[in-house]
């Protein structure tokens, strides 16, 4: 299928495993040059090289922690330096917290707020002007079904993903006149390494 994306440039955070890697593969198969972002340098560079060789596109691995302002700045600078700009931003980085409201610390709340919400805010702030210069673009936020139907053991995840969904709606209203489309997807359970880790933790705690 030709979706008319050949030659576009996409940034995918959390792009070295799971949903993010699958998204990068799908876009590369359509001829999109991709920048995959993750904290682990070796894995992200291996996957970027494999995608480039498999699909014949430009692919770069960016090592950065997008839960920090410095990490987001690294992504914004690297994608422009390595690929010349960006047309598609996929905010996918995230993980579960698996704690009760009573047990969750301020530090845990702050960490997931930075990872799920502020990463999207910072990357949009840095890359929307780049998209405007290129005539438009697409921003996609990977939230969760938990944003609309919370899981009892994920209070921080539920809350921050709901905030991400509202940020997405607000951003969409702001940039619609600049030919930038913003959407959110709310997937349910997907068999990824992160979910396997979570399931094992829950099973161990409950004696399954």
Please list the active-site residues. 157
Q: What length does the chain have?
A: 208
Query: At which residue do the structure tokens 């995230």 appear?
Result: 94
> In 3-state terms, what secondary structure has residue 11?
strand
DSSP one-letter code for 114: I
DSSP one-letter code for 134: T
Taking the C-alpha atoms of residue 175 and residue 60, their distance in angstroms, rounded to an integer, is 27
Task: Report the candidate in 17, 191, 11, 187 with the shortest Cα–Cα distance to residue 89.
Answer: 11
Q: Centre a 10 Å sphere on the Cβ of residue 6 and count the other Cβ atoms it contains.
A: 11
Task: Please give the angle made by the CA atoms of 129, 130 and 136, to the nearest 5 degrees.
Answer: 90
Q: Which residues pair with 183 in a beta bridge?
A: 140
**In terms of DSSP H, where are the helices of the chain?**
18-29, 41-55, 69-83, 106-113, 119-133, 155-175, 193-206
Task: Please give the angle made by the CA atoms of 85, 120 and 140, to the nearest 5 degrees.
Answer: 70
């Amino acid at each position: 299928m030709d979706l008319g994306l050949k030659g576009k440039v996409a940034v995918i955070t959390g792009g070295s495993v799971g949903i993010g890697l699958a998204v990068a593969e799908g876009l590369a198969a359509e001829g999109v040059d991709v920048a995959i972002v993750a904290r682990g340098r070796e894995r992200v560079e291996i996957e970027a090289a494999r995608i480039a060789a498999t699909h014949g596109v430009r692919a770069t691995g960016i090592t950065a922690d997008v839960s920090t302002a410095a990490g987001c700045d690294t992504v914004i600078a690297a994608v422009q330096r390595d690929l010349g700009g960006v047309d598609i931003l996929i905010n996918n980085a995230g993980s579960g917290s698996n704690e009760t409201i009573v047990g969750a610390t301020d530090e845990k709340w702050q960490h997931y707020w930075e990872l799920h919400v502020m990463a999207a805010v910072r990357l949009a702030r840095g890359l929307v002007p780049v998209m405007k210069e290129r005539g438009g673009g697409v921003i996609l936020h990977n939230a969760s079904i938990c944003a609309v139907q919370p899981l009892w053991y994920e209070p921080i995840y539920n809350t921050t993903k709901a905030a991400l969904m509202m940020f997405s709606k607000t951003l969409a209203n702001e940039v619609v006149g600049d030919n930038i489309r913003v959407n959110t997807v709310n997937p349910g359970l997907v068999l990824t390494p992160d979910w396997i880790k979570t399931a094992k933790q829950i099973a161990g705690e409950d004696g399954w």
